[in-house]
Amino acid sequence: MRVLEVVHGRPPNYEAIVALFPGAAHPGVLFAYGNCIYTPGGRRPTPALQAHERVHCERQGDCPEPWWDRYLVDPSFRLEEELLAHRAEYRAYCVRHPNRAKQARMIDWIAEKLAAPLYGSLVSVDDARRAVLERGIL
């Protein structure tokens, strides 16, 4: 498992990301790039968000540029990558919070996030919820 560094700042490709997804400029948005989790707004990632970003870092391998190049232009790839990361986020949350009511609220929040314009509005909230819970690719 890779050791990830939390960096309070912007990833190297921040301008390209924000040019395509203006919502990514929100100070609460986190970015995975190489072995780093970038937090432009200084937000400390929760364990669940660390699990989410870890998936991206691991899938980027030692050279994040090709992953990011594809992520920014290929909606199918982006959806697949985000689905994997959102599943990891939900699993990590559930490990720390066994309360079913809290888990239900979290899956709703994660589904809304996955369906949001931040990722290009690639899926409906209901489809996102099903995909995260079913562990199957859309």
37-96 residue pLDDT tens: 999 999 899 999 999 999 999 999 999 999 999 999 999 999 999 999 999 999 999 999
Return the CA Rg of the chain.
14
pLDDT at position 133 over 60: yes
Cβ atoms within 10 Å of 6's Cβ, excluding its own: 15
Long-range contact pairs involving 24-32 (C-beta distance under 8 Å, separation at least 24)? 24/118, 26/118, 29/118, 32/56, 32/57, 32/60, 32/64
| pTM given for the model | 0.93
